[in-house]
Structure 1
Amino acid sequence: MRKGRRVAAMLLAMAPACAVAQDDVVVITATRQPQPSLEVPASVDRLYGEEIREGRPQVNLSESLGRVPGIVVQNRQNYAQDLQISSRGFGARSTFGVRGIRLITDGIPASMPDGQGQAANFDLGSAQRIEVLRGPFSSLYGNAAGGVISIETEDGPPIPTAEAGLILGSYGTWREAMKFGGQSGELGGTASLSHFHTEGYRQHSETNRDLA
């Protein structure tokens, strides 16, 4: 009888922990259909807005993707040719731009039909999360043997907010940005504007970039 009471007490103590574990589910959307991360038969990593922006200039994906296994980002400080991104070796021979990796922004393809894309078009200042899908599972997106990099924009906050930021660096580098968003009934959204400028450490390497 005592043994039965002990088992019942242990089950009651474990019930809240099980409920918390079931509620804390990470949902992956880079696989065409939203699925819990433990049920996805693929290599998927996620980077959230805090990881993307905290203490970073928010200029290139090289600031964040370096921590993702299997992803190598070569930042040649040449803003005219953009980054060189390779996933498990795919895209390593690209002379400029991104090849063999599908780029997606809010569900809209950001790569051209030949597989080439420009990661500089990603607005990191308003990104809610970045999902990186590696391996053959990326064939769901067509010409993307190396993987998929999908970025999603933040939803509008319940209370209208506005933010402004300024980042300064060496070689005449600076970036100014403004972000605002809100909700009204069933409608909501976020908008951001940014301007990046650098004179570069080499001659004839001055760059200006505007994102909206």
Structure 2
Amino acid sequence: MTDDDLERAGEFVLGTLPHAERLAFQARLDREPDLQTMVADWQERLSALNEAYAPVPAPDLLPQIEARLFPTARATSRRPLWHWLAGVATAAALFVGAVVLFPVLRGPEAQPIAVLGAPDAPLRFAARHDGDNLILERIAGPAPAPGQAHELWVIAPGAAPVSLGAVETTLTVAYPAPPAGWTLAVTLEPAAGVPHPAPTGPVVAAAEITS
């Protein structure tokens, strides 16, 4: 651990880290005990600041994400997720033929673009992009039960979900620069038949691409 790590831990607790740096720090925090200790120390030092503020429950953002991804389904009494495939966007359709799965590859140049799942969620994924590949890693939570798979989908605004493949611990796919404002979502699906033409299971984690 370095003095820079100590400073970043303090900024993380205060909430002053820029968004991209906060995502990268959160990904490290999940797997580095020394960093967790630094954060706990800062939380204790700064706990007196909390006395000036009343507690506010954290908002549940998943309904907002689903409403944005699937506005038609919300307007028709919560139809199942796979009903939203009517109206596939041209860009999404073209992408299907371009998806190629590769072995795990994550270089130091990969930049964080999204964390799927709230900080206290039992299942979370971190998404990065290294200039050529989109890399998704399960950073918290167990693997799915035998016969099931976590499947990653990309959703353009107003378009249908497009499968990028099954996520084991890490999934790497050849992908151009991911557009900010598009959404990544992970669903629980049957392991057989991945990539599926349409999602059939529940959304277990989702987030909007930020950069």
TM-score of the superposed pair, with normalisation by structure 2:
0.27
Higher share of residues assigned helix: 2
Higher share of residues assigned strand: 1
* Larger Rg over CA atoms: 1
Q: Which has the higher contact order (CA 8 A, sep 6+)?
A: 2
TM-score of the superposed pair, with normalisation by structure 1:
0.27
